[in-house]
Homo-oligomer: A and B are copies of this chain.
Amino acid sequence: MHVLILGAAGMVGQKLTTALIADGGLGDQALTRLSLVDVVEPPAPAAFSGAVDRVAADLSLPGTAEQVVASRPDVIFHLAAIVSGEAEADFDKGYRINLDGTRFLFDAIRLVGDGYRPRIVFTSSIAVFGAPFPDLIPDEYFTTPLTSYGTQKAIGELLLSDYTRRGFFDGVAIRLPTICVRPGKPNKAASGFFSNIIREPLSGHEAVLPVAEDVRHWFASPRAAVSFLKHAATLDSDRIGPRRAISLPGLSCTVSDEIASLRRIGGEAVVARIRREPDPTIGRIVAGWPTNFNARRAAELGFVAETRFEEIIEAHIEDELGGRFVS
């Protein structure tokens, strides 16, 4: 099986690469070839006996998508996107990469024709929803995004569903919860602080909390994100049906819950590294985000997420910190 990962240099892309190689395949198919594509050349993966291509390419430039799909991968993970904060700050770039890039990809596959019909897993986001919300957002809830990023993801979902219905490919769009604890350096996502206030204190560093502690949000760990992607890649297409966008399960908790979990695991000295510094811009963006879902359909389709925030912190300590933190 040939797997293509677009956005392979990103955090989730790298973790997915590592997991696929460790698993040796996807479902019951052996992994024989990996194509890793991003705007910067993705890092070389760990030992893998199959073929690996690593390509620096910008999907939003005409012609790139055609080159990328010419090798006819069986499964395409489309993770490539610029994040919410950047898409809001740079209108043109956001639409160019998140909308045009996605459409170029979908059209390149369509225009191969000749029966080529790969599974595409497209990472959408809970940012397709915009406040006000019911307490639990049901699967049938409408998408009224309050950011350009959310708009671009919602459009990607619509295109994916129509192209799938037309038989151009076999797509599934998964609405990831906010990934937490995100490792590495902060990126430009407005949601970054949800991770920063856990990751930085556990490494001995100060972190800024720009919102109130009663802010509630919807989370899943990087581990869960990788499991979602793999599961989405192997789901039976008929079971998904014509509605190809799926709100994934996650864990609903407040910043206060996050901090309490961090205190139970790390102690008071770790928690003391969180510094309150309200940022009205981030506060306004976050206030438009969903806080809790009834992800019934995803559960029926076999997607599983964490149920306690401590699990999310423990996964971070195990996977990123070698089991240790700075107390």
Contacts and interface: CB of A to CB of B under 8 A. Distances in A.
Given A91-B166, A166-B91, A242-B130, A154 B158 contact: yes
Contact of A243 (B141, B144, B155): B144
Interface string A118-142: 0000000000001000000001111
A166 B143 contact: no
A140 B159 CA distance: 21
Interface residues of A, number: 23
Interface in A87-115: 91
A171 interface: no
Interface in A253-274: none
B140 A151 contact: no
Interface in A141-161: 141-146, 148, 151, 154-155, 158-159, 161
Contacts of A151: 158-159, 161-162
A72 interface: no
Contact of A162 (B148, B158, B161): B148
Interface string A13-34: 0000000000000000000000
A57 B258 CA distance: 57
A195 B243 CA distance: 30
A165 interface: yes
Nearest to A137: B140
Contacts of A146: 165, 242
A162 B152 CA distance: 9
A116 to B, nearest CB: 16
Contacts of A148: 162, 166
Nearest to A160: B151
Contacts of A144: 161, 242-243, 245
Residue in A130, A161, A162 with the greatest tally of chain B CB atoms within 10 Å: A162
The residue among A144, A146, A161 with the most chain B CB atoms within 10 A of its own CB is A144
Interface of A: 91, 130, 139-146, 148, 151, 154-155, 158-159, 161-162, 165-166, 242-243, 245
16 contacts: A139-B142, A140-B141, A143-B143, A143-B158, A144-B242, A145-B158, A145-B161, A146-B165, A148-B162, A148-B166, A151-B158, A151-B159, A155-B155, A155-B158, A155-B159, A158-B158
Given A130-B243, A140-B141, A148-B162, 13 more contacts: A91-B166, A139-B142, A140-B142, A141-B142, A143-B143, A144-B243, A145-B162, A146-B165, A146-B242, A148-B166, A151-B159, A151-B161, A155-B159
